[in-house]
Every structure is written in C-alpha cells, then in structure tokens.
Amino acid sequence: MSAKKSLDEKDKPIPLVDLTLPPDGDSLPHDVRSFLREADRRIARYCRGRRIGGFMPSDFERVYGVLRTFTAGNVASGNQFCEWGSGFGVVTCLAAMLDFDACGFEIERELVDAAQELAADFDVPVEFICGSFIPSGSEACIDADDAFTWLHTHEGSSVEEFGPADFDVVFAYPWPDEEQLTAALFDCHASAGAVLMTYHGGEDLRLRQKSAK
Ligand SMILES: C[S@@+](CC[C@H](N)C(=O)[O-])C[C@H]1O[C@@H](n2cnc3c(N)ncnc32)[C@H](O)[C@@H]1O
C-alpha cells in the first residue's frame, strides 16, 4: 500500500474552503507600477534565448489586486507570507509592499539571485531561500510513482527552519499537473486559518482557507 493511502483517520487534513472577494477597482500605486515595469523588463531579458524550464511568471497586476483586497478584508490570520516556487520573486515583493513579512522558496539558484537583485534594487525587505518548498514529512501526499513535468519533488532541508505551519498566506502558481499536490501539501501542513492563494493562468486566481477543526 502506498504511504498516501495509509494516512490515519485522525491525521486526515482539514478541508479547504473557497473564499470569494469583491473585485479590486483601484489603480496600481506609482511605486508598484515602476517595480512591475522593471520586473517585466528583467523577466523578458532573462527568458530571451534560453529554455526556460519550469519558470512561468503569473499575472502580477492581477495577483497584486487580489492581495490588496484580501489584505483590506482582514481575512488572513496573520502577516507571514510565503511563495512556493518564487521564480523572479515578484509576488513575494508585492506581498512585502503590502506589509506582509514575506519570503519565497525557489529551487533554481539563478532565479533566486535574480529575485534577490530585483528586491534589493527596490529596497523591498524580503527573504529568498534556494531550496525545495516541499516540507519534510510529505510522504503522505506524494506517491512514489507520481511524475510531474516541472515540479522538483524532493523535500527541502531549509524548510526545517520554517514550514508551512508558520505561514498565514501561501502563494503558488502550479503547473496543471501540480495543482492537486499543491493543495494537498498545503492541506497537510498549514495551520487552521491559513490561506492558499493559487494562480492558474488567465483570470483564474483561487483563494482557499483552511477552516478550523
Ligand atoms: C510556474 S513558476 C511560478 C513562478 C512565480 N511563483 C510566479 O508566479 O511568477 C514555478 C516555479 O517553481 C519552481 N519550483 C519547482 N519545483 C520547486 C520546488 N520543489 N521548490 C521550490 N521551487 C520549485 C520552478 O523553478 C519555477 O520557478
């Protein structure tokens, strides 16, 4: 029997509840607009002439709008924010600009360096960790025969310092074949009240909250 199927009844994850927010009608603040213009320019330069692998930027304006409405609505249980697979680090920076205490995990060293440089150039106080966001103890979520196109499934060592239970909001832009696992990992490890924000391309951005037991 696989580890996934041996999950005890008592350890069963708490269901995630979908959240709906009113639309964000405000325009972007000037500092955010300048930051995003430069981020777009650097990402275009980074992507030019190379195989990009698993990196694909989300719709930053849209993510910012939802984060802003979410912040105004006081839905989060606290201000600890983490981006799983932070790429260029733009969403982590946007969260910090909205006063979250924000960090990102990214497996590709080159992307971590680019994210750190972008944040430093705009004086955004964030932390980027080069390593896997998948917490140790995730065997219950990942089947040995699961195969993903881009996701690195090995567990991180750095997450021993901070795990998903330490975060109030987790953001991810999973590839379609990673969507289920992303929610399962969050469900397994996050604390009650924490929110998972996921971007799925186009207009599709989901917010799910781990309800209290
Ligand atoms: C679709 S991109 C999203 C980038 C960024 N979140 C954004 O919205 O612009 C997914 C990122 O996850 C990273 N990644 C894949 N597996 C990972 C893992 N186990 N731990 C940390 N990062 C990972 C990839 O290198 C890639 O940069």
Q: Which residue has the higher pLDDT, 196 or 158?
A: 196
Residues lining ligand 1, Cβ inside 6 A = 54-58, 83, 85-87, 90-91, 105-108, 111, 132-134, 150-152, 173
What pLDDT sits at residue 163?
67
Token duo for residue 105: 């995990």
With bands split at pLDDT 50, 70 and 90, how would you rate the model's confidence at 34? Answer: very high
- Ligand 1 centre and the CA of 213: distance in Å? 30
Nearest to 148 by CA among 170, 118, 181, 171: 181
Determine the average pLDDT of the residues in 112-136.
95
With bands split at pLDDT 50, 70 and 90, how would you rate the model's confidence at 201? Answer: very high
Q: Which residue's CA is minimally distant from atom 13 of ligand 1?
A: 85
Which tens digits make up the pLDDT trace of 68-102? 998 988 888 899 999 999 999 999 999 999 999 99
The answer to whether 134 and 107 have CB atoms below 8 angstroms apart is no
Give the C-alpha separation, 70 to 48, whole Å: 34
The pick from 50, 128, 151 for probing ligand 1's pocket by mutation, whose C-beta has the most ligand atoms within 8 angstroms, reads 151
The yes-or-no verdict on residue 50 having pLDDT over 60 is yes
The full set of domains in the chain, from first to last, is 29-210 (3.40.50.150)
Per-residue DSSP letter, 6? G
